Structure 1
Amino acid sequence: MSIIDIVLLIAYSISFICALLLIAALFLYFRKRLRARVVSLFMLAAFFFLGAYTVKMAVAFWIRFSTSGSDAVLSSLQSEAWAIAQTGTTLGLVILTLLMYTKRQDLFVVLSGIRKGRNPHADSNSGSK
């Protein structure tokens, strides 16, 4: 194992652990916010980005430290997994950038009208006839 492999292993490990810790913290945030029935779109986008980034780090581990054989199927799967993870990461970054530069990082979704077994628009149509 070369020095580059060791540095990459350390960097990937730190990134992966930090992303998992942030996802756990965001999960707790969302659980609390769902009880209050209001969710921040910016935090939702951050959660999506971190999820895609964590998958990307797992794929990076898989690619970097798998046996370097000439298995075409494994290589194809790794390439496809990397492309999906990179696309999710890029999409998350684009959403976060748009929210930030349009100064929309304080948008919230109010979930008070959404209840189990109830149409949220049923009350608004009942008196319109």
Structure 2
Amino acid sequence: MGIIDIILLLLYVIAIVTAVYILFKHRSYFHERFKKGVVSVFMLAMLFFLAAYTFKMAIVLLIRASTVFGFASPELSVWLLEGWTLAQIGTTGGLIALAWLTWTGRYDQFVQLRRLDKKIEEDIDDADA
């Protein structure tokens, strides 16, 4: 194991820990906003991106650790590649949403979850009738 391997493993762990810390510290905001039924679109995009990024960093940590510590296998490589692909889709989607909000300058948009829930329930009731 070389110095680069140690640095990369350390940086990946720091990235995961800081991302989890940010998610943890914002949990009260999301809990409160979901309870009230209105959430900032920007904060939702940030949550989506950060959750996907955290998952992506966990995958890259496993990729690097399997190489460094010698527990890599073809089956593990396939699983990690699929996980990486899902995480990349999530981070790209989150970045697209954040870029769109930044480009439009609409940081004050909100999603009304309760109204959406009621509309879905009404549509389901109408379909059953």
Which residue is equivalent to 1:10? Answer: 10
Compute the displacement of 1:110 (Å). Answer: 2.3
> What CA distance in whole angstroms lies between the structure 2 residues aligned with 1:10 and 1:44?
29
Report the TM-score, using the length of structure 2 for normalisation. 0.81
Give, as a single letter, the amino acid of the residue that structure 2 aligns with 1:87. I
Aligned-pair identity (%): 43
Compute the displacement of 1:118 (Å). Answer: 5.7
Which residue is equivalent to 1:94? Answer: 96
Q: More helix per residue: 1 or 2? A: 2
Aligned length: 120
RMSD between superposed Cα atoms in Å: 2.2
Report the TM-score, using the length of structure 1 for normalisation. 0.81
Which residue is equivalent to 2:106? Answer: 104
Which residue is equivalent to 1:56? Answer: 56
1:21-75 Cα shifts (integer Å, max 9, x gaps) = 1111222211111233211011001000001000001101110001546732221
For structure 1, the residue ranges without an aligned partner over 5 or more in a row are 123-129
> What CA distance in whole angstroms lies between the structure 2 residues aligned with 1:68 and 1:10?
18
Higher-Rg member (1/2): 1
Pairing of 1:1-129 with structure 2 (within 5 A): 1-66=1-66, 67-68=69-70, 71-113=73-115, 114=117, 119=122
SS in 2 for 1:29: helix
> What CA distance in whole angstroms lies between the structure 1 residues aligned with 2:75 and 2:37?
45
For structure 2, the residue ranges without an aligned partner over 5 or more in a row are none
